[in-house]
Structure 1
């Protein structure tokens, strides 16, 4: 350390204070990085790696980026999951004695970004803190760019599973956990696995203490107690929230006043959707390409504002479970759908409304420029018209939105009085404040204007005096004002001209008179720049005093935007208002898949009915060939239920939706090689999760359970699953069960609530046509070979498959005849032949009957035989 240069010592001191960050060290017009940071940044940013003398034997690796273009480079590093510490000069180099003082003024992390260039316009950028304590977990999360802040707790059974489901829903960019928790590698690994792009930050355990968290929250929100936040009985939420606030203030180096008063929410108020279900239903992105197009969000998003788009995504991620709240949303959509003219006028106003949430966030944070204030003024100016248009509606939700909208006349007037209509982006170049706002600005502007007139007059006078017609007066930031004369006219230059600069084809001069004018102009420009910046920050501070009311308006506008989007889509796509209640019935008439229907722009989507309840129709066994549409149908039902519970109309002629607390999907086959799990293990793990966490109010979609193992094992598992889920005693959940095990269709009549349905297929010789229609009854075959033919499999393979199929079917018939002729199923077992799983018990009864010597049996023995057979028959059921 003692051999390092003074500047490098200063760098090392700052780096040691922020070892987990890439340090951007300000040197003149560049941010420089050294040593390991330089090697890493040069690789990630694809910039040149050089070196610098640092006092050691070897030169220090070094790379740098221009100060004015730093945001682009920082954004790239943040996207790659790094943290960046900005180390600035905190004193004027001209006034500094020795080396200029430097300090880290802010730390930018994936979860603390506020610069719009680093944010996705239609997505929230959440940072989450989690406090783990035995069988309790508290979480607190926020979007620092919008001020949104929420917290909840998990306790009791399946606490960690419920926590992980919530993390998947929130999808944070950064997760803060205490160092004790981080040492538990299974927890950290699980979080990292769920949130592939999340940055995991270890934080000091003391910041998670309940007492510390309570005091931090009271200080931040200026409260005497936590009752106003509803957190007094939630110690783990308090601990997590305190840690989150502390971390945000440490990274931003200032208090984060624009965070909303933190909202405590109960997870049971929202439908639970685990990671598998979200992926299978393609709610916000497709499975294959992770593309927005092809998702439910793509279908429903006709929003006109960025804040509306973010709220829509949030609503899709967390459907409601209280029918009264859902009804309020549906009534709002109904009213807007019915009034096209007013809806179009509202859309026109929303299109001209900027992102109020992030605008006011930047203003409160002190990061806004003049254009941000003008955009805020322009947006708030739309509120009176929007309020007037909303006056035509009587739905509770739209009336509440109208009440929450404020005209914000005072904010508009502050900006109107002070800021010019088209301000520059930079705050340091002047031209932001109206000259009528401050008397000194008016006088300084006048001095600058007159000074420039003096320059023009002086140029004309000097041309006349010298006779040099090409003489001109110019200006640059390095040399100031100058008189430029071409070399062909140097013999005419007066003796009192003072040479200032020599060029290839000209000479530049100054005169005492020009120097005096320059002093007046530049002095006025420097003063007006300083004064305008000072006034602007004062105006920005005044506007920030209205942060809470503007945020309230922004939330109302976002909700209105989502309702209008729902109404637009429902109108264009012929969606119907569903009936949502607290019952168990799911009855959909002529339902359609919202995404597939929209993608099929040139063909007609075949609608289908659905009937599920917790009584006679709680379990549907769905059979039919591959590619016929079983998976599409099942996802369609789930999406219709979900759409109804977010408050949107649904693609059906009529729909009655009993509140669903969870949707589970076990669809498709996939290995999890990273976790060392085969397709079948993944299938069974997901099945186990469903069995353990589903309730009678859940909706379960199961596709091809048991297909990942041998036929007989798989069939046995599938049979047992149907028994367990369909039983009211065990679960009794509403279930759609797609299978190729046609033997399972015999369960209708044996198990209460089980009904058979199949996909209608039309055969034409060896070919088949999928009719895409769900009908009562079970399929008698899978049509696998026909599907292979449709998929383009070689005709030789198809023909050979048919031959093998005929042989197998013939062998199966012979085996059945053999077993039947002997009359005892045990012979088949002895010869290791397949039993008929569904007639095994009846075969035993027949076998017992055949053993009875009817002619030599007494009445008492006959009654005993009958009683024993009766009990065996009861076991069959």
Structure 2
């Protein structure tokens, strides 16, 4: 790749064409310029869209203190895609997990045999930036996985990679893997390492600058991508990020476990496959968090489990251990966490500068400051709750939450905001709090506006009393944002009389009549005007307060991140104490005693049967056989789920647990067709296995369930055998569940292979009825039961006449196979053995005989000729092709 990568400007693109997501939704402070000022006269008039998509921007002018900026539009035409093909919601696999998040991703690459890819993700909603540089393969597996984990709204790529005659393979793969994401080519000049370093210097927290510089040193492409992403946010998204207010972090790809999208869905890590709203998934099981920040951190950790033992996992284990022992501290922490709202979004709203001011943004500023006040007020209780903490992680969190960090902000707010004004949730309370937020005496006209507001509100109540007295009705005064004050009456009060004419805007809803009066409408206007005037007069004080608070935003973000981590750790503690989990050990082998499937256990706590698991260098490939419904899939799923839990930092459901660190997790379980992709079950199966075989190594954990059953028995067995050979050679940890008993026989003697099965008991009841008892217990060796499919069909009530026919067919097939064996290889082997044994007996007799040498020699010569002739006869009579032998083995 050329030495100076760079992004172009946004072009006309379908992108997420059906999306109407807006930055205004999570961050109301973000303001956008009007349509009249944001579009060039050379373009047709297009109504403004509340989205960060730049499909409408060809030549864009920006108001405020920014000079006019335009981004040149490339000639490449992006393909139009549809999002109606059943695409899963972002919540099923994304680290940030919400469709309301606006995430920009910039990608740059160094082309070569082993391409290096730089990635930069910016979440405008939560004010985060993640940089990463990956040494990838020609298939860009790690890059695509990383992008899929963050699921950006827009992907930026250098425009030279988009040329029709020289499109990069990375772009082609991204378009194939993420067909519904808007891809925007950007001019080369925006991809600059110097610009990226300048943005880091100016936007990152001051305290983090040195650490970030060390982390990104030598990561040229990640720095260039960061420059492009920031420039796109500033110019195309029409927002500004204040200096030293962006949370920037560098994330090496080798520090986390790679879990591909198919594995996430197969294991139900984030979402249940049958019911999207069900909590029967790993995230739903562990999500005992009490704050939105803690929930997001838990999601991120489940999708990207840590591989750092000393820096991450051990401190988390110690913290969970202490929380489960000190109940008083644990309950105090949980109680203190309930006082926090979504602080990440709140603080992000403080550092995103709007390009236009309005009543709405001024009102939202007051709301945000009141939210910060509530946040600052809640931190000391958490600090006190951690007073007895001794674990290193808990003491570090307590140190970050110390009063010295939050007290300056509390003092600033106390100097300008009334003490009794707090953040509220109902619309009327929020309006009242905004009106009286600033202390009295700051501005004379502000006090007048408040007095007008108060008098108009009192007039509303007096009007309601007069209305009740004069018309003999019982009105209820209600309030909402759109109608302001309105009246609600019962329809039953007017069954024998007419509704008074003074009531207007009448709407019948159920047993109620919703209405207003002309006087009430006029009073609403007076109240709104006085409220808006109070907001405008308060704005100067609020902006000054906001500027003072922004200096302390990095410290507040650190407190927020600490609270999120503590919330996740406390959630692990909650799961551990209520479900009897045990602390895992980290070593070189995977050993579980009395392990339980975490999700199935919650559904059936009394009936679930624990099992043992052991795998090391000598037993890396384990074949699991067993009857239908014996629990094979549950057993192997349990292993992978417990591995994820351990590398998240959570305790696991077992009597004893030890794990080795896994860097890649592969699961092939799904047997669903993909109608949208025009792929059958077997096609999907082969595509997933091809992906696994290309990327597996000795640091991988692989779970394979029923490989090859989507095609013919012969081909399925052949593919399963070939894949098994490759998996054995990869030296990864593999659990392979199958119904192919030949697979267990063929591979049983290979080094590193272990045969196991799920035990089942079968016995007759009253001589006629058959009963099968699934023990759900893992045992050594391959399954021994014959015809377990027929036995299960009989046990669940399949019609007996069909069972009888199936048994006859099975017996006939078995007899035919045995007959062929007797007339072929087996019979030939028996005849050979018999001939050799006869020769052995004859030679023993000759050794003891008194025959002279001449007679003995003549006899031995004749014996040799007879033996050779009879052996040739056996070979000629029993000659069978190799293909027939293989076929008989398969039919067996």
Question: Normalising by structure 2, what TM-score?
Answer: 0.69
| 1:604 maps onto 2:599 in alignment | no
Q: 1:270 aligns with which of 238, 250, 256?
A: 256
- Name the CA distance, whole Å, in 2 between partners of 1:454 and 1:566: 51
- CA 779–226 in structure 1, closer or farther in 2 if over 3 Å, else same: closer
Q: Which residue pairs with 1:818 in the alignment?
A: 823
Per-residue Cα deviation, 1:307-341 (whole angstroms, up to 9, x for no partner): 00000001111111122121111111111111222
Q: Which residue pairs with 1:758 in the alignment?
A: 757
- CA 647–422 in structure 1, closer or farther in 2 if over 3 Å, else same: closer
Q: Which residue pairs with 1:351 in the alignment?
A: 338
Task: Give unmatched runs, 5+ long, in structure 1.
Answer: 1-14, 25-29, 38-53, 55-59, 65-69, 93-101, 105-109, 114-118, 460-504, 508-517, 825-842, 866-877
- Name the CA distance, whole Å, in 2 between partners of 1:252 and 1:262: 19
Q: 1:363 aligns with which of 330, 345, 350?
A: 350
- CA 252–816 in structure 1, closer or farther in 2 if over 3 Å, else same: same
- Name the CA distance, whole Å, in 1 between partners of 2:123 and 2:232: 13
- CA 173–574 in structure 1, closer or farther in 2 if over 3 Å, else same: farther
Per-residue Cα deviation, 1:111-161 (whole angstroms, up to 9, x for no partner): xx9xxxxx9779965332111331221111122122221111122545601
SS of corresponding position for 2:140: helix
Deviation of 1:773 after TM superposition, in Å, equals 1.2
SS of corresponding position for 1:233: coil
Deviation of 1:701 after TM superposition, in Å, equals 1.1
- CA 625–341 in structure 1, closer or farther in 2 if over 3 Å, else same: same
Q: Contact conserved, 1:214 with 1:226, CA < 8 A, in 2?
A: no
Q: Which residue pairs with 1:628 in the alignment?
A: 630
Q: Which residue pairs with 2:553 in the alignment?
A: 547
| 1:205 maps onto 2:182 in alignment | no
Deviation of 1:676 after TM superposition, in Å, equals 5.3
SS of corresponding position for 1:785: helix
Q: Contact conserved, 1:149 with 1:263, CA < 8 A, in 2?
A: yes
Q: Contact conserved, 1:695 with 1:733, CA < 8 A, in 2?
A: yes
Q: Contact conserved, 1:229 with 1:262, CA < 8 A, in 2?
A: no
| 1:776 maps onto 2:772 in alignment | no
Deviation of 1:597 after TM superposition, in Å, equals 1.2
Q: Contact conserved, 2:109 with 2:116, CA < 8 A, in 1?
A: yes
Q: Which residue pairs with 1:231 in the alignment?
A: 216
Deviation of 1:806 after TM superposition, in Å, equals 2.2
- Name the CA distance, whole Å, in 2 between partners of 1:253 and 1:158: 36
SS of corresponding position for 2:699: coil
| 1:242 maps onto 2:247 in alignment | no
Q: Which residue pairs with 1:317 in the alignment?
A: 303
User: Structure 1 stretch 636-645 or stretch 273-282: which is displaced more?
Assistant: 273-282
Deviation of 1:805 after TM superposition, in Å, equals 1.8
Q: Contact conserved, 1:284 with 1:313, CA < 8 A, in 2?
A: yes
| 1:578 maps onto 2:561 in alignment | no
Q: Contact conserved, 2:446 with 2:534, CA < 8 A, in 1?
A: no
Per-residue Cα deviation, 1:205-233 (whole angstroms, up to 9, x for no partner): 33224344344444544999997363230
Q: Which residue pairs with 1:107 in the alignment?
A: none
Deviation of 1:628 after TM superposition, in Å, equals 1.7
Deviation of 1:684 after TM superposition, in Å, equals 2.9
- CA 249–122 in structure 1, closer or farther in 2 if over 3 Å, else same: closer
Alignment of 1:432-471 (within 5 A): 432-436=436-440, 438-440=442-444, 444=448, 448=452
Deviation of 1:292 after TM superposition, in Å, equals 5.2
Q: Contact conserved, 1:354 with 1:376, CA < 8 A, in 2?
A: no
Q: Which residue pairs with 2:482 in the alignment?
A: none
Q: Contact conserved, 2:630 with 2:774, CA < 8 A, in 1?
A: yes
Q: Contact conserved, 1:432 with 1:532, CA < 8 A, in 2?
A: no
- CA 769–87 in structure 1, closer or farther in 2 if over 3 Å, else same: farther
Alignment of 1:650-665 (within 5 A): 650-665=652-667
Task: Give unmatched runs, 5+ long, in structure 2.
Answer: 1-8, 23-31, 71-82, 84-89, 91-95, 354-360, 464-516, 520-524, 765-769, 844-859, 872-892
Deviation of 1:600 after TM superposition, in Å, equals 2.3
Alignment of 1:671-820 (within 5 A): 671-672=673-674, 675=677, 677-726=679-728, 730-747=729-746, 750-765=749-764, 766-780=770-784, 781=786, 783-788=788-793, 796-820=801-825
- Name the CA distance, whole Å, in 2 between partners of 1:710 and 1:17: 50
Deviation of 1:522 after TM superposition, in Å, equals 12
SS of corresponding position for 1:381: helix
Q: Which residue pairs with 1:144 in the alignment?
A: 124
- CA 17–722 in structure 1, closer or farther in 2 if over 3 Å, else same: closer
- Name the CA distance, whole Å, in 1 between partners of 2:151 and 2:377: 34
Deviation of 1:398 after TM superposition, in Å, equals 0.9
- Name the CA distance, whole Å, in 2 between partners of 1:332 and 1:225: 28
Per-residue Cα deviation, 1:275-297 (whole angstroms, up to 9, x for no partner): 22212111111234444522100
Q: Contact conserved, 2:205 with 2:247, CA < 8 A, in 1?
A: no
Alignment of 1:269-418 (within 5 A): 269-291=255-277, 293-324=279-310, 325-366=312-353, 368-407=364-403, 408-418=406-416
Per-residue Cα deviation, 1:176-220 (whole angstroms, up to 9, x for no partner): 223343454865564355446533333333322434434444454
Alignment of 1:459-538 (within 5 A): 528-538=534-544
Q: Which residue pairs with 2:595 in the alignment?
A: 591
Q: Contact conserved, 1:129 with 1:244, CA < 8 A, in 2?
A: yes
- Name the CA distance, whole Å, in 2 between partners of 1:532 and 1:352: 27
Alignment of 1:18-37 (within 5 A): none
SS of corresponding position for 1:696: coil
- CA 196–574 in structure 1, closer or farther in 2 if over 3 Å, else same: farther
SS of corresponding position for 2:644: helix
Deviation of 1:254 after TM superposition, in Å, equals 3.9
Per-residue Cα deviation, 1:412-454 (whole angstroms, up to 9, x for no partner): 2222332341577989997144343615356645875999899
Q: Which residue pairs with 2:156 in the alignment?
A: 176
Higher RCO structure (Cα 8 Å, ≥6 apart): 2
Q: Contact conserved, 1:625 with 1:782, CA < 8 A, in 2?
A: no
Q: Contact conserved, 2:741 with 2:782, CA < 8 A, in 1?
A: yes
- Name the CA distance, whole Å, in 1 between partners of 2:11 and 2:137: 42
- Name the CA distance, whole Å, in 2 between partners of 1:404 and 1:620: 47
Q: 1:129 aligns with which of 89, 99, 106?
A: 106
- Name the CA distance, whole Å, in 1 between partners of 2:835 and 2:129: 70
- Name the CA distance, whole Å, in 2 between partners of 1:303 and 1:359: 19
- Name the CA distance, whole Å, in 2 between partners of 1:558 and 1:242: 28
User: Structure 1 stretch 550-559 or stretch 330-339: which is displaced more?
Assistant: 330-339
Deviation of 1:244 after TM superposition, in Å, equals 0.7
| 1:560 maps onto 2:557 in alignment | no
SS of corresponding position for 1:262: strand
- Name the CA distance, whole Å, in 2 between partners of 1:683 and 1:370: 55
- Name the CA distance, whole Å, in 2 between partners of 1:433 and 1:664: 55
Q: Contact conserved, 2:584 with 2:656, CA < 8 A, in 1?
A: yes
- CA 529–588 in structure 1, closer or farther in 2 if over 3 Å, else same: closer
Q: Which residue pairs with 2:504 in the alignment?
A: none
Per-residue Cα deviation, 1:11-64 (whole angstroms, up to 9, x for no partner): xxxx9997879999xxxxx99999xx9xxxxxxxxxxxxxxxx9xxxxx999x8
Deviation of 1:719 after TM superposition, in Å, equals 2.9
- CA 123–809 in structure 1, closer or farther in 2 if over 3 Å, else same: farther
- Name the CA distance, whole Å, in 1 between partners of 2:129 and 2:10: 32
Q: Contact conserved, 2:436 with 2:450, CA < 8 A, in 1?
A: no
- Name the CA distance, whole Å, in 2 between partners of 1:851 and 1:128: 81
- Name the CA distance, whole Å, in 2 between partners of 1:370 and 1:628: 61
